[in-house]
Chain A
Amino acid sequence: MAVIRDMIPPFELFQPAGVDDAVRLMQEHGDQGWVLAGGLDTFDWFKDRIKRPSAVIDLGGIDELRGISAGADGGLEIGAMTSLTDISENADVVGGYPLLATSAGLVATPQIRNQGTLGGNIAQDTRCWYYRSGWPCYRAGGNICYAATPRSMNREHCIMGASRCVAVNPSDTAPALVALDAEMVVASTSGERTYAATDFFIGPDLDITRMTVLEPGDLLTQIRLPAPWSGARHYFEKICDRKSWDFSLASVASMLNVEGGVIQDARLVVNGIAPYPVRMGAAEAAVRGRAPSDETGQMAGEIAVEGSRALRHNDYKIALTRNLVKRAIRDAA
């Protein structure tokens, strides 16, 4: 008998008008509730009948979650439901945070960027095709990582940060936000709390079923950007198999504070190679006090991939990461 795969299982739809209502509904429905932002991650899950929530909380009607406004101390505050197109085209973002504007502008396609939200892009689930096929892997509550076996098709999977699960974080904007030292604001019925972007993303060693700190009942409401580094150089590059509608095989985001031809401070983040955006702390420390040259970049690249381990089909990611880090130092402008 044919299996119909394009029918979404029934659910109860809630369309709250405010954050308070949304978090109350999320609390009420717990792990049976599903938060719908742009829908671009959601509907694949639903149509494949892999995720079957009983309640969907649509954030589309919450105006307070949209928009870009001036924040404290010269920074910016971006509502989690702000579209990626708005972010990539906003003058304040383009002017002060070109790293974020560039990364948002490289997400998928114009149509997806129109519909997709910053919060959704950050909080989206991994694209591991074993997991996305609904197989009972660790991330789905099972006892196996199908992608980590010696026979697995794991070209897209991770080279560091693995802990039983080898899926990678798929977000394009996440590494930019970590590099920008953004702050994530999370609301729940118990109040509001904030996380540094670095801490917002978690690995499978901490919780194998989540990619972020968000638990059922938690709503990412806002992304706060600190005041931009004055005169900082930046670099963002996304490598994927095709130039649109593709998730990165690896992406790099860097912020360099260069004075007198010497790197005073650096923030260097690579995504697509681990279950979370990887802050390359050792490489950052190594490049401080050096010129942003090819040699410095090469050294940073070597340091960045120390400890990385390839799976059967992804050892190119080690070379790619090394070279991207090099470019992020050498070519930052």
Chain B
Amino acid sequence: MTALDLYIVQDGGPYGRASDYNTAGTVATAIYQPENMRFRGVPVYTNTPPRSAQRAPGGAQIVAMLEPVVDKAARELGVDRLEIRKINAPGHDGWLGEQKGPFTSAYVREALDLGAELFNWEEKKRLSGRREGTKVTGVGIGLSPFTAGSTGRDGLMVIRPDGKLYVHQGIGNLGTHSIADTARAAADVLDLSWDQVVIVWGDTSRHLPFSTVQAGSQTTHAHTRANHAAATALVGLLQELAANELGGSPGDYRVADGRVFRAGNRTVGMDFAQAAFRAIALGGKFSGGEFPEDLNDVTKASVTGLAGQGLVAAARDNYPREGAVFTWVASFAQVELDVETGEVEIVDLASTTDCGTVMHPRSLAAQTNGGVFQGIGMAKSQRWVFDPKWGIPFTKRFYTARPPGMLDVPRNPRFAAVNQPDPHTPVGAKGIGEPPVGAGGRVRLRSRGCHGRTLPLPHTAHLRHDSGGAGRPATALRLAGNARLTEKEKQSGCHS
């Protein structure tokens, strides 16, 4: 991409809090690496209901805006739609934003290749435009990145006299498994069986560390790092405790299987229960009486609250990170559009991701597919509806808001991850929560071979009465092959 001129006007609602337009500009640079770019963003206060971020704020929108333009360019240039994305996608030396900062890692081409293989792109793309009866086939690709992690949070954990590791988590539990997955980083550092780990979460009365909000762009990355840091500190304390009790230097000791023991001689050591008792007896830094000064204040209070209950370790994520953490999702879809009813059925769907190290394959698949489905819903049916005169919302129930259901997506969506660790984070994991939305929304629209100027684009947008004046067109979209299209409509229509 030699040049990108991006001008975004953002309806910011009454308080103008959202900065989606700015994020959109950054994400635009991330996907296409334009050699030249002019970016203008105008957030506008409007007398409308308050806005708030949902999922991939700014990213989902810009993907929906730019991907069709890139497809059009591919068509004009005679370049395959997969290839044009691979040509423009960043590698590890890619950049983003006004300052042209680096990525920590970018396995984008790998994700695209993996997706193309999973989806069988070379074969499927030949189906695009095929018409059988009233149905037209379309295939498409959506590529969506989004920021995927923050740093500087704290890890906090305790080995109690019962010999178990209690990992205190400040993040919430939304059912995404991240509350467990990020605790596994500590278990891995301690080489501890997972059934010896207890996760402590809830409200601050349970002495929780300073954490990110529970969000896809934050949690996995931030808290694998924080728990990794705290677990590493815990290993240090165990080694020091063992050296104090059993002689030698801390470096002589290893930690595994719920014990700290002398390297080369597992019989010399103590189990975690014994370590906890000794820590309580020793006090000070071993049982939370002292703690690192760089901890966030919330964590300091929690450590104090836990003091004396076992071997307490707390640490701030001070790992270096050189670059922006971005996760990428590529989605490939095959759809069938009934030109008489406008109904679109997604008959095949495959998604791949570069999200660093895979922490939990099933959860990752659920997150990715769920995000893609949400994007499909945003593109198709899910919406806000307000009466323009009264400003009152109508889509207050599921049957009016219309998020997609299981029957609206393929029964067996396929999924794969590049599974290459991000080198700038110790566990190698990046967040997955946000980018699938843009990919899902885009791939559905692209599969239809058209790009709309408004979203959602319900299937009925394909149908327009040809009387030409009875009502405002529901959208700018027309579909070639519709039963009764005027010549003008046919000329302005998109073609799969």
Contacts and interface: CB of A to CB of B under 8 A. Distances in A.
Interface of A: 44, 108, 129-130, 133, 146, 149, 151-153, 155, 237, 239, 241-247, 249, 298, 301, 305, 309-320, 322-324, 326-327
User: Which 4 A-B pairs give the minimum distances between C-beta atoms?
Assistant: A243-B407, A310-B470, A318-B465, A129-B394
B484 A242 contact: no
B472 interface: yes
Q: Which of B399, B405, B458, B467 is most buried by chain A, counting CB atoms within 10 A of its CB?
A: B399
A214 B451 CA distance: 47
A316 B464 contact: yes
Contacts of A310: 465, 467, 470-471
Nearest to B485: A319
State which size class the interface on B falls in.
Answer: 35 or more
Given A133-B392, A242-B404, A313 B397 contact: no
B460 interface: yes
A130 B387 contact: yes
A319 B408 contact: no
A323 B482 CA distance: 10
17 contacts: A129-B394, A129-B400, A149-B389, A153-B385, A153-B387, A239-B342, A239-B460, A241-B460, A242-B380, A246-B399, A310-B471, A315-B471, A319-B483, A319-B484, A320-B463, A323-B341, A324-B341
Nearest to B383: A241
Nearest to B392: A133
Contacts of B407: 242-244
A146 B380 CA distance: 26
B45 interface: no
Contacts of B340: 323-324, 326-327
A314 B471 CA distance: 7
B343 interface: yes
A36 B296 CA distance: 57
Given A312-B472, A316-B463, 12 more contacts: A130-B387, A146-B389, A151-B389, A152-B387, A153-B388, A242-B405, A243-B407, A246-B399, A305-B465, A315-B465, A319-B464, A322-B484
A247 B399 contact: yes
B122 interface: no
Given A151-B389, A242-B408, A319 B471 contact: no
Interface of B: 340-343, 380-381, 385-390, 392, 394, 397-400, 402, 404-408, 458-467, 470-474, 482-484
A326 B399 CA distance: 28
A243 B408 contact: yes
Contacts of A305: 465
A129 B385 contact: yes
A155 B458 CA distance: 11
Nearest to A323: B340
A242 B381 contact: yes
Contacts of A315: 464-465, 467, 470-471, 473-474
A323 B474 CA distance: 18
Contacts of A237: 341
B380 A245 contact: no
A170 to B, nearest CB: 10
B387 A241 contact: no
A146 B462 CA distance: 26
B210 to A, nearest CB: 31
Nearest to B339: A323
B487 to A, nearest CB: 16
A313 B405 CA distance: 25
B387 A146 contact: yes
Nearest to B475: A316
A202 B311 CA distance: 76
Contacts of A318: 465, 467, 470
A108 B397 CA distance: 14
Contacts of A320: 341-342, 460, 463
Contacts of A244: 405-408
A322 B483 contact: yes
Contacts of A316: 342, 460-465, 474
A326 B380 contact: no
A327 B341 CA distance: 10
A294 B74 CA distance: 38
A241 B397 contact: no
A313 B471 contact: yes
A215 B405 CA distance: 37
A326 B339 CA distance: 13
A333 B277 CA distance: 79
A113 B132 CA distance: 33
B278 to A, nearest CB: 53
Given A241-B381, A324-B341, A319 B465 contact: yes
Contacts of B458: 241
B398 A245 contact: yes
B402 A246 contact: yes
Given A44-B397, A153-B385, A309 B342 contact: no
Given A319-B483, A320-B460, A312 B471 contact: yes
Contacts of A146: 387, 389-390
A201 B467 CA distance: 29
Contacts of B404: 242
A16 B483 CA distance: 53
Contacts of B380: 241-242
B459 A241 contact: yes
Given A129-B394, A243-B407, A245-B398, A319 B381 contact: no
A214 B408 CA distance: 36
A129 B462 CA distance: 24
B476 to A, nearest CB: 13
Contacts of A322: 483-484
Q: Which of A305, A309, A318 is most buried by chain B, counting CB atoms within 10 A of its CB?
A: A318
A323 B385 contact: no
A132 to B, nearest CB: 8
Contact of A153 (B342, B394, B459): B394
Contact of B388 (A130, A151, A314): A151
Nearest to A155: B474
B337 to A, nearest CB: 13
A313 B398 CA distance: 21
B483 A323 contact: yes
A332 B464 CA distance: 25
B467 to A, nearest CB: 7
Contacts of B464: 315-316, 319
Contact of A249 (B394, B460, B470, B482): B460
A179 B405 CA distance: 30
Contact of B470 (A129, A133, A309, A323): A309
A326 B458 CA distance: 22
A320 B389 CA distance: 28
Given A129-B385, A241-B458, A319 B463 contact: yes
